[in-house]
């Protein structure tokens, strides 16, 4: 039944998507002199007036700025400045973008990259918007930042949850396959045929046909850092700090069970919870309008709370 509901969405009228021009952001001002020699810029889009706030959008794995073309368009038209990011190893951003920070497949390193982007663009207090495995990065970023650096979190179809979800079970087997993939990819004579095989398999498993061979190989390395075992402590720490968190998920996500998403929503800090009966793993596409509307209200409410707290301290 879930599958039929998801396919019925293909007849749904979607909001007009936006694909702002992509630019390369130089982050060298935030790195050491040694790392500046080898680092590469990050591909981003930057659109919207910023009248109603700022958002940094972080995609999953694999993914790109195009994952936010529907919800991003809604927010930009409303007056939100949206910075969509191509993470290292995905789309137009090189793996060398994390030079001086660490491995580009580590969620903590990618969180530091998001902080660099916010600082380089001199964003005042952006909301972090994340899809799928991008949620791990957003939660890490919020956890590492000082109170008030980010306005809050909006996570859509988030991963990881509090325990292995269906896509990474049995976990021991998934981890073994990923380790084997990383090893095979390190052998020059095997790299190209292995990447071609991975690409075909990932498309068969339901990933976008646009995924490249390089992204396919990087995805396997990235999955080794899906630290679901740290998620309970991470959620508890954010809850203790009362980081405003909005969570969105669907009942028919083919990758993550509804019950596991519900358990994560209960563990995270207070905030709006949107649950849709359909939309699969891409609520950010199929339900862009109601999510964007809820985000605008959530951002306004969070901004008012911060202003009220500041007034009380004075």
Q: Which of 112, 162, 108, 154 is nearest to 131 (CA)?
A: 154
Residue at token pair 């309970």: 232
Strands 42-47 and 81-85: antiparallel
CB atoms within 10 A of CB 8: 10
Using the predicted structure, report yes or no on whether residue 2 has a pLDDT greater than 80.
no
Token pair of 235, please? Answer: 């959620």
Token pair of 200, please? Answer: 């075909």
Q: Which of 84, 85, 83 is nearest to 98 (CA)?
A: 85
pLDDT single digits (tens) 296-311: 999 999 999 988 877 7
Going by the DSSP 8-state scheme, the letter that residue 227 receives in this structure is -
Q: Which of 28-37, 84-93, 139-148, 218-227 has the lowest mean pLDDT?
A: 28-37
pTM assigned to the model: 0.93
pLDDT tier for residue 28 given thresholds of 50, 70 and 90: confident
């Amino acid at each position: 039944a879930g599958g039929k509901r998801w396919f019925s969405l293909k007849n749904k009228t979607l909001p007009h998507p936006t694909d702002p021009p992509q630019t390369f952001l130089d982050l060298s001002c935030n790195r050491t002199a040694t790392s500046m020699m080898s680092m590469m810029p990050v591909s981003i889009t930057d659109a919207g007036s910023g009248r109603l706030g700022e958002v940094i959008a972080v995609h999953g794995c694999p993914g790109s700025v195009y994952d936010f073309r529907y919800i991003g368009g809604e927010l930009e038209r409303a007056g939100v400045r949206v910075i969509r990011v191509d993470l290292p190893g995905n789309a137009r951003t090189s793996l060398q973008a994390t030079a001086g920070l660490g491995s580009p497949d580590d969620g903590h390193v990618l969180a530091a990259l998001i902080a660099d982007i916010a600082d380089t663009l001199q964003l005042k207090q952006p909301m972090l918007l994340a899809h799928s495995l991008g949620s791990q990065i957003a939660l890490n970023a919020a956890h590492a930042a000082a109170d008030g650096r980010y306005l809050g979190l909006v996570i859509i179809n988030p991963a990881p949850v509090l325990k292995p979800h269906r896509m990474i079970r049995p976990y021991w087997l998934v981890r073994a396959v990923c380790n084997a993939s990383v090893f095979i990819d390190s052998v020059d004579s095997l790299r190209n045929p292995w990447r071609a095989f991975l690409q075909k398999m990932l498309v068969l498993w339901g990933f976008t046909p646009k995924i490249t061979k390089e992204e396919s190989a990087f995805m396997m390395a990235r999955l080794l850092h899906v630290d679901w075992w740290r998620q309970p402590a991470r959620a508890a720490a954010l809850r203790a700090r009362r980081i405003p968190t909005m969570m969105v998920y669907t009942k028919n996500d083919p990758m993550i069970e509804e019950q596991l998403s519900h358990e994560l929503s209960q563990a995270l800090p207070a905030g709006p919870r949107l649950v849709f009966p359909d939309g699969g793993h891409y609520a950010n596409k199929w339900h862009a309008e109601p999510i964007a509307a809820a985000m605008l209200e959530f951002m306004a409410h969070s901004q008012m709370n911060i202003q009220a707290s500041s007034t009380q301290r004075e």
